[in-house]
């Protein structure tokens, strides 16, 4: 299961999973972006009779809605081993802006918790799971204007530690990656004077996520891993 699959990082992560033979279920909120994703990975997406990529409109902040999507995935493929929580977003705002902070919390934290709660059930039943969320390096240190984002991404670190501890001994690992600026067209357009060579590429970040979701990463759990490339 990959959330945020229609985003800049999402395309790279979905591709990386499909290339390694995984099947990917992607809850989306925009059908035309889902079609773009399917086109972008068309050669890896399987066939109508044997789809390797399923996209479906589902609200990732709504646990029952995600539970229904998980049931559909279980009927299609019989298991759900991996959850990559990529969905999230950034906005600047004052540390005194309660409404703005609430919105960033919902977008980055509530979505992750609701989706994970739905996906953990089949993982627990099978005694195996890999959960990786995308935080941000700014979750470690806030600056002026970044309160809501840094608080939300910082909360994902503490949440990861707590959930990893909760699931210890059940074969399920829980980790969070902390990227600095990701090199993609949206960031290049927003920061034309910056040097994108120092930024982490989506492929570099996808490799770390895919590794943490592999069987051989069984020894890593509760970790917050900076992925800051050349920053």
Ligand X SMILES: NC(=O)c1ccc[n+]([C@@H]2O[C@H](COP(=O)([O-])OP(=O)(O)OC[C@H]3O[C@@H](n4cnc5c(N)ncnc54)[C@H](OP(=O)(O)O)[C@@H]3O)[C@@H](O)[C@H]2O)c1
The binding site for ligand X (CB under 6 A) comprises 4, 6-10, 29-30, 33, 60, 86-90, 107, 111, 134, 136, 179, 181-182, 184, 186-187
List the one residue out of 224, 179, 225, 220 whose CA is nearest residue 202: 179
Tell me whether residue 87 or residue 164 sits nearer to ligand X (CB atom).
87
Shortest spacing between CB 110 and ligand X, in angstroms: 8
> Distance between CA 148 and CA 216 in Å, rounded?
35
> Distance between CA 118 and CA 86 in Å, rounded?
16
Tell me whether residue 9 or residue 167 sits nearer to ligand X (CB atom).
9
Shortest spacing between CB 197 and ligand X, in angstroms: 15
The number of C-alpha atoms within 13 Å of 196 and in the hemisphere containing its C-beta is 13
Shortest spacing between CB 106 and ligand X, in angstroms: 7
Three-class SS state of 177 = strand
Shortest spacing between CB 90 and ligand X, in angstroms: 6
Task: Tell me phi and psi for residue 206, to 5 degrees.
Answer: -60, -40
DSSP annotation of 46 reads: B
Cβ(40)–Cβ(18) below 8 Å: no
Shortest spacing between CB 82 and ligand X, in angstroms: 17
Tell me whether residue 24 or residue 60 sits nearer to ligand X (CB atom).
60
Tell me whether residue 19 or residue 36 sits nearer to ligand X (CB atom).
36
Torsion region of 69: left, alpha or beta (phi above 0 gives left; psi -120 to 50 gives alpha): alpha
Torsion region of 168: left, alpha or beta (phi above 0 gives left; psi -120 to 50 gives alpha): beta
List the one residue out of 84, 163, 70 whose CA is nearest residue 125: 70
The CB-nearest residue to ligand X is 7
Quick one: which H or E segment has residue 112? helix 111-126
Tell me whether residue 9 or residue 73 sits nearer to ligand X (CB atom).
9
Shortest spacing between CB 161 and ligand X, in angstroms: 18
Tell me whether residue 175 or residue 181 sits nearer to ligand X (CB atom).
181
């Amino acid at each position: 299961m990959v959330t945020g699959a229609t985003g800049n990082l999402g395309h790279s992560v979905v591709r990386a999973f499909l290339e390694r033979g995984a099947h990917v279920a992607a809850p989306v909120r925009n059908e035309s972006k889902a079609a773009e994703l399917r086109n972008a990975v068309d050669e890896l997406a399987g066939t109508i009779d044997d789809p390797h990529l399923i996209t479906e409109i589902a609200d990732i902040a709504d646990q029952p809605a995600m539970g229904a999507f998980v049931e559909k995935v279980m009927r299609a493929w019989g298991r759900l081993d991996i959850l990559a929580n990529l969905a999230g977003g950034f906005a600047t705002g004052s540390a005194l802006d309660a409404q703005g902070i609430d919105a960033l919390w919902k977008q980055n934290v509530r979505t992750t918790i609701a989706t994970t709660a739905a996906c953990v059930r089949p993982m627990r039943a099978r005694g195996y799971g890999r959960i990786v969320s995308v935080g941000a390096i700014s979750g470690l240190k806030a600056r002026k204007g970044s309160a809501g984002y840094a608080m939300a991404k910082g909360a994902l670190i503490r949440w990861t530690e707590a959930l990893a501890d909760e699931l210890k001994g059940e074969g399920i690992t829980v980790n969070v990656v902390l990227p600095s600026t990701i090199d993609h067209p949206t960031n290049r357009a927003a920061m034309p004077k910056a040097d994108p060579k120092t930024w982490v590429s989506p492929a570099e970040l996808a490799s770390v996520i895919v590794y943490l979701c592999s069987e051989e990463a069984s020894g890593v759990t509760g970790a917050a891993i900076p992925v800051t490339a050349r920053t």
